[in-house]
Amino acid sequence: MRRVATLRPRWGMGLTAVSRQIVERVRGWDERFVIYGGEDNDFAQRVRRAGARVCWPHDDAFHLFHMWHPLTSAAHALSAEATRQIRRNKDIVRNDRTFVRNSMQWRHPLRGAAPLVSVVVSTFNRRRMLQDTINSVLIQTMQDFEIVVVDDGSTDDTADYVSSIADPRVRYVRQDNAGIAAARNRGTDEARGQFIAVLDDDDLMLPWRLECQLAAVEDSLTAVFGSFVNFNDATGEMVLTSVKEMTVLTAALAGGAPGHSTWLIPREWMARVRYDENLTSGVDNDLALRLLRAGVRWASCGRAVVLRRMHEHQVTVSDNTNQLGSASAAYNRLTFTASLHQLDATREASAGEPRVKLLETGRVDELVAAYLPDHLVRRVRLRRMELNGIDAVPSITIERSDGVREGFVLDAPTWDQLVELGPEASSSYLFAAPVGTGRYSFDPQILHSLQDAEAERVLREAVGERPGDVAMAHRGDEGGYARITLDGHPTVIIESGTVADPARPPHWWGEWLARPGEAIVSNASTLPALRDAWYRAVAGEERRHADLG
């Protein structure tokens, strides 16, 4: 066999042996690969980016032979679906630089695997604010986490509150009062996750934080930060704070570090470098700059990820002198080896460096206000529910083929109700600009946009998401939506109450389409008839056979 075999220098090929610890670290093989082609190379490369050393055995006693067979790609080329999957596989291998996969849904996890992220919260006598903080973690879109609450000797009812939380992912650790740095180090020691997400006990996570930050982690040396929104705890006024990229160059300008509550850092680095327990404040800035000096690369996720509560009991207010002193010392340590000429060159090189572009710029009220504490905001939700026996008036009605009526009903949920929804909370709510009272009112246009988005989602869900199987025709900007019932799918009636009945003659479809504000969702089998009807009603009979693309 050795004499007739051909050496295959490619790695992968199913010849990978790794420790269970490494499989857990990268969250296994990427389950987006549903067909052969690239999944082995992708796994091996991710293992290397995760910090493992790849070893090749060289031993005359070791041989493994791969039996020749016709290329699977030839068989797959006969199937359009298989060809599409192979193209997607190649795109993942070439362009996805993350090493942690399956974070949103790991269908086949290792039994007993530790949580992917430990959200560490140290607290002292802030029970009221702590409840908002913990609630904001529980509605994350990425749910593979634990919450480690380190109580630094509180004398209020913090212990009773945390102990009352039914979610087993919330862990409570109490210690005698030892200071903020010691409490944060204790949280690192207690954490079991691969990453630590830092969160102060008076701040709130935005729902997409863990998901988008994990997507920015490329290797085991990457720490991720985001931007934040300062909000006044009395008035609800919000200010979006954008930041520059975190490098030695940018830090050398003023010694500043990313907002503490926006950090996502590999736990091993937090355990190695640790908070300085000789400092009473400014410990976050000090640690960030020491991590930078140790070789950790800071990457921005490009989004606001935290609501930072502004109130009179913040450490930045109560211990301002010590905080400024520790920040100055950290800056001096960062720059003590640099000459004045180097520092001047750094300032000149970084003067025009743009800040990180954020999705939330210009859209803070629309995207963020929903997640302020209850005393600052009134929320509006489109809640999907069965209508049988309920008096609520729906804005969207769904007549299912089994006779059950469902609908989307407007209500005003509290934070406790958001927690009941869990990760679904991030896509079901509507908010608008602040008013003079410090609360939030609602722009009707945003409400209509949300209803339109929910309508489209429901319609696509009813027809199916297969490529080429869904088409939507829109006319104008006003009015409502309706759906043609196909093959037993539910009929969806939205706002206007108009139903497109497939039993009616096709020319009626065209008349209906010609009215402003109507839309049709159809599967591919019905599209030719719809296209002809639209040509007759809107484009004119003479253009019926025109090739319009």
For 216, residues 6+ apart whose C-beta sits below 8 A from its C-beta are 222, 224, 299, 300, 301, 302
SS3 370: helix
Half-sphere exposure of 493 (CA within 13 A, CB side): 14
For 308, residues 6+ apart whose C-beta sits below 8 A from its C-beta are 200, 203, 228, 229, 230, 231, 241, 259, 261
For 165, residues 6+ apart whose C-beta sits below 8 A from its C-beta are 134
If residue 462 lies in a helix (H) or strand (E), which one and from where to where?
helix 444-463
Q: Residue 217: left if φ>0, alpha if ψ -120 to 50, beta else—which one?
A: beta
Domains along the sequence of the chain with CATH? 20-95 (no CATH), 117-365 (3.90.550.10), 380-413+443-543 (no CATH)
Q: Is residue 290 within 8 Å of 260, Cβ to Cβ?
A: no
- Kindly provide the residue ranges of all beta strands, DSSP E only, lying in 105-154, ordered along the sequence: 117-123, 145-152
Predicted local distance difference test score (pLDDT) of residue 336: 56
Q: Is residue 184 within 8 Å of 196, Cβ to Cβ?
A: no
pLDDT per residue as tens, the chain (549 positions)? 888 888 776 655 567 789 999 999 999 999 999 888 888 889 989 999 999 988 877 777 777 787 877 777 777 777 888 888 888 999 999 999 999 999 999 999 999 999 999 999 999 999 999 999 999 999 999 999 999 999 999 999 999 999 999 999 999 999 999 999 999 999 999 999 999 999 999 999 999 999 999 999 999 999 999 999 999 998 888 999 877 788 777 776 666 788 999 999 999 999 999 999 998 778 898 899 889 888 899 999 999 999 999 987 665 544 555 555 555 655 566 555 555 666 666 666 656 555 777 888 887 877 888 899 988 887 877 777 788 777 777 766 776 666 777 777 777 788 998 998 888 877 666 665 555 455 555 666 666 666 666 665 665 565 444 433 333 433 333 443 333 333 444 444 444 333 344 444 444 444 544 554 444 444 444 555 555 655 555 555 444 444 333
Half-sphere exposure of 288 (CA within 13 A, CB side): 29
Q: Is residue 485 within 8 Å of 501, Cβ to Cβ?
A: yes
Query: In angstroms, rounded to a whole number, what is the distance separating the alpha carbons of residues 64 and 141?
Result: 43
Q: Which two tokens stand for residue 225?
A: 């930060």
97, 126, 313: which is closest to 218 by C-alpha?
97
The residue assigned the tokens 């809107």 is 538
Q: Which two tokens stand for residue 144?
A: 């593979």
Query: In angstroms, rounded to a whole number, what is the distance separating the alpha carbons of residues 378 and 441?
Result: 7
pTM of the model: 0.78
